[in-house]
Structure 1
Amino acid sequence: MLLLWLVVLLACLAIAELGHVAGFVGEPVVRGLSGPDTDWWRRSAIFHFGAFGCLLGLVVLAGRSLSRRLPRLQSRAARILAVVIVLLGVVLCLNQFAEMRRVVSQVTDFGTIYAASRALFGGGDPYAATDNAYFYPPLLSFLFGSLIRLTPAGASLLFFSVKMVLVVWALAACDRLVSGERFNGGRRVLFSLGMIFVAARFWIADLQFGNTNVLIMFLVIASIAMDHDQRPLPAGLALALAISIKIIPGVLCVHYLCRRRWRTLAITAVTVLGLNLMPWFLLRDHWWSAWESYHVAGVAGKLSLRLSEPDNQSLWGVINRTFPNGSIADLRIVWLAASLLLVSFAGLVSRVAIRREPMAHIASAALYPLLGLLVSPGSWVVHYTATLLPMTTVWMLALSRQWSGRISWPLFLAANLAFTMSGWARITVRASTTQSWFVLATVLLVVGLGAWVLTRPVARHDSCAVEIVSARTVQRRGRLRSAPSRRVRQLMPPLPG
């Protein structure tokens, strides 16, 4: 396992160095790296080429031995998949360096966050300094304080590299959560390709423009995975950080509430409070002023604007496009009612899933990233990185033939067409006749996954229904617990006599 992660790390570094080389010789990047950034780039160019050469030599020399140690790379299909993944990483780096000029001019999403962080630590208003283009809670600009010591290009490169690692971790977590390892041969390769490309168009755009959607996707999936492993502390910490950065992931608390994950909820609440009070010791009253500005620009501002642009693929955008002449107050009521209806449905699914098979637990948790897209007043197309876990779940159900029926398959095909085909073909929502294609597909996916969970038979109280510590946790600890966990004891049948 350690060797596998080392290979993954080396692959990520090698891909990043390929991006360095491509960016160094590319004219758009050289022009974009103006001023002090050019000196930074030239000083580190020798290191880039040297490190890339060392990594390339290591891969070439150790290629044959690595293939013997990693059985999955011995088949032709697995090697083709590995080549596709590496080429995709190269494309990501090329996209990132093509945007370096805009990063330096601070007109990208990353440039906006960078400018907001500099304004916050400079004693200014992060929202006024960016003309309200920065609409996250103040904590994100506070956390970016360590990056403003770097040049915009250097900070963007570091943020991009970290997010690439987060994408790799999220893909591996989705594979483990939905038991993708059950597949063999061609079906395994098909599942891996589907899992990678089903939402890749969106997180490629996120990596390119320096947004935070990949970070939120990682934190939400990490919280679900850790809770699935009966580890409430990291699950609560991950969810608390996601909520502090972008409020909307808080809908996952409904899932934990319905499943009675009290420790996870308590850790989440305490951590959210601590994270948002910590900057006060450094910034004092300036921190409260930043929160007041956030309420005006990020909360009240979003719900006081119609946001009816076709790119706004949320319930709020659909309602505003459907009723263009309605008053804002009435539209808020409709939006709130629709949001409560969807969240209540998801809560019912989470509650019912307690007595269903383990796969139903993952399917119910996968509803909440979709709910975040629908409930948020400003979910743009790039935010649909959140479809990774739910679409991976549906893809697994389809390949394992658990997703069947005349209604289920059309739902899956419609969602896959919206999230995958239209995204990769660069068909914008402006070309859609409904201008709400992604929202409709998301609602269909929520209903379809929820219906699948609700129609599953009740699990029997036998050894197959007992939730034990995951295989990964068992391997990490080296042995099973001497006594079953509380959750296992609840599912165990009473002893005779």
Structure 2
Amino acid sequence: MPQGATRTVGQVGVVVLLAGAVTAFLSVAAVRHGFFDLQVYHGALTYWVHDGGEVYDYLRRPTKYGFTYPPFAALVMLPMAFLSWHLAIVVSVTATVLASLAVIWRLLDPVAVRAGWSRWFTLAVAACLAAAFEPMRETVNFGQVNMLLLFLVAVDLLWLAPRGSRWLGVGIGLATAIKLTPGIFLVYLLVTRRWRAAAVATGTAGAATLSAAALFPDASREYWTQAFWNTDRVGELAFISNQSLQGVVARLDPGHPSTLLWLALVAATLVIWARRCRAAVAVGDEATGFALTGVVMCLVSPVTWVHHLVWLLPALILLVDNAMAAPAGGRRRRGLLAFAAVGYAVLCSRLVWQWERGFGGVDGFVFSNFYVWISVALLLALPIRHPAVGPDRPPAGADGGGSAGVEPAGVPQLGQGERGTATGQRHRIGRLLTVR
């Protein structure tokens, strides 16, 4: 058998074994939520369209949970009211899987090319690992929209931004109109001085919101005057699944969480994030800016359920990317791979749930908030790339534009040692040419 065929057969075997191992793991570790959030969406829209009720008056009995997204989200999801329950599940799962594969492919494909890995094999392995990732499996089992929103933002920052597209901002605006939390990416555009893109995002979000208000004035009035302010609809802040800074503060004193402490933590976090994002975009590292903003969104949002932590996935992938770009066998590569492996393993483990019924004491503080600590570590330690500058590539921003020279995610770069070697070689070549 030819060597290429043998390699392919081996890779197929690895994927089959890995898929079997992940399936066995999910049969034990995955919690079945019965597509609870999808039931809320489907029930609220059916109640609105077919039963003559208001979408924000619907509650999923016997719980107190109802439709919490802005009216534009109800407009986008409106076709769901005409789908059977089982078809709604098929559409939800299919859309989540396709959006996830697209984002993973965009981030990993350059790594596969640089490392000489088969592209299909890289994507297949990554898809298996993503299926075991607790935030991803929670997103699927709840029927959540997290990956669809992440995809909309990724289209802007991973596809359009590197090309300097004038449409940059549309995806962020749509995501913000569907669910308010992706609005942090609009702030990201402002922090990194992409004024036009920020205006496009703001205009898109505003136009989407106004179109929903024009079509559904009663629903819009109820959302912005009542439902938006009703925090009881989203759940308890101290609940173990709330892996945000607000969750940490609430678990310190569930009865009287300190708003001042939370605001101080949020302010410090945003300062660090803004500085790191500006540094990343200044050298053309849009992918890291995108990943850091997803991380900070999870930290500063008042409520970040575990399934929202799919926004950490780009940062974990970029850790692997940076590791593979570092010198083989070096401490940097080993350290980054260890960081990625530990973060991934913990976020597959359901570790925080062991403290669901009691999070007091030092162990409760440390382990009930462990996913938050991973987010903090990613915010502080995710490397910023410094792409090589050559005759075919001007320095980032050399033409005075905020997005000029932006490098696509996963583009090869030199590690610290390699950059020093390359610089020394250029100097030696320069001296030889001068002598001659």
TM-score tier after normalising by the smaller chain length: 0.7 to 0.9
Relative distance call for 1:401 and 1:426 in structure 2 (3 A) is same
2:237 aligned with 1:307: yes
- Is 1:128 matched up with 2:128? no
Determine the structure 2 residue equivalent to 1:182: 114
Deviation of 1:145 after TM superposition, in Å, equals 1.1
CA contact (8 A) 2:101 2:127 kept: no
Identity %: 20
Contact 1:194 1:395 in 2 (8 A): no
Give the Cα–Cα distance (whole angstroms) in 1 for the partners of residues 311 and 224 of structure 2.
26
| Corresponding residue of 1:367 | 292
Task: Find the counterpart in structure 1 of residue 279 from structure 2.
Answer: 352
Q: CA deviation at 1:224?
A: 1.5
Contact 2:26 2:132 in 1 (8 A): no
Matches within 5 A, 1:249-260: 249-260=182-193
Q: 2:319 aligns with which of 368, 385, 394?
A: 394
8 A Cα contact 2:352 2:369, kept in partner: no
For residue 95 of structure 2, what is the aligned residue in structure 1? 162
Give the match for residue 427 of structure 2. none
Cα deviation for residue 323 of structure 1 reads: 3.6
Please list every run of 5 or more consecutive structure 2 residues that lacks an aligned counterpart in the other structure: 356-362, 408-436
Report the residue type matching 1:114 in the other structure: H
Contact 1:195–1:388, Cα closer than 8 Å, also in 2: no
Q: Note closer, same or farther for the CA distance 1:154–1:232 as it changes in structure 2 (3 Å cut).
A: same
Aligned position for 1:138: 71
Once the two structures are TM-superposed, the CA of residue 124 in structure 1 deviates from its matched residue by: 3.0
Counterpart of 1:283 in structure 2 is 216
Asked whether the equivalents of residues 246 and 262 of structure 2 are also in contact (C-alpha less than 8 Å), the reply is: yes
Question: Deviation at 1:462?
Answer: 4.2
Distance in 1, matches of 2:251 and 2:380, equals 23
| Correspondent of 1:429 among 350, 353, 372 | 353
8 Å CA contact 1:92, 1:207 repeated in 2: no
Q: Which of these residues, 105, 112, 125, is aligned with residue 193 of structure 1?
A: 125
- Equivalence map 1:175-254=2 (5 Å): 175-176=108-109, 179-185=111-117, 193=125, 197=129, 200-201=132-133, 202-254=135-187
Quick one: distance in 2 between partners of 1:371 and 1:422? 19
Supply the AA of the counterpart residue of 2:180: I
Measured against aligned partners, the alpha-carbon deviations of 1:368-400 in whole angstroms (never above 9, x if no partner) come to 111111111111112211121110000111222
Of 271, 274, 279, 2:207 maps to 274
Q: Work out whether 1:110 is the aligned partner of 2:38.
A: yes
Structure 1, residues 332-353: CA drift from partner, whole Å, max 9, x if none? Answer: 2322222222222222122223
Question: 1: CA distance between counterparts of 2:395 and 2:5?
Answer: 30
Q: Which amino acid aligns with 2:321?
A: M
Deviation at 1:110, TM superposition (A): 0.3
Distance 1:129 1:292 in 2: 16
User: Please, what TM-score do these two structures have when normalized by structure 1?
Assistant: 0.66
CA distance in 1: counterparts of 2:142 and 2:55, whole angstroms: 20
- The CA distance in 2 between the partners of 1:150 and 1:237, in whole Å, is 28
> Aligned partner of 2:353: which letter?
V
User: Structure 1 regions of 5+ residues with no counterpart?
Assistant: 1-66, 469-482, 492-497
The residue aligned with 1:473 is none
Contact 1:206 1:212 in 2 (8 A): yes
- Rounded to whole Å, the distance in 2 between the matches of 1:166 and 1:430 is 31
Q: Do the aligned partners of 2:298 and 2:309 also contact (CA within 8 Å) in 1?
A: yes
Amino acid at match of 1:276: T
Relative contact order (C-alpha < 8 Å, sep 6+): which is higher?
Answer: 2
Q: Give the SS at the match of 1:206.
A: helix
SS at match of 2:246: helix
Q: Paired residues, what number?
A: 388
CA distance in 1, matches of 2:294, 2:376: 12
Q: Which of residues 460, 463, 478 in structure 1 aligns to 2:392? A: 463
SS of equivalent residue, structure 2 residue 240? coil
Q: Scaled by the length of structure 2, what TM-score is found?
A: 0.74
- The superposition leaves residues 23-81 of structure 1 with CA deviations (integer Å, 9 ceiling, x where unpaired) of xxxxxxxxxxxxxxxxxxxxxxxxxxxxxxxxxxxxxxxxxxxx9xxx89963454345
Q: CA deviation at 1:219?
A: 1.9
C-alpha offsets along residues 392-432 of structure 1, whole Å, 9 cap, x if unaligned? 000111222269998996676456424x2234344443347
Map of 1:495 onto structure 2: none
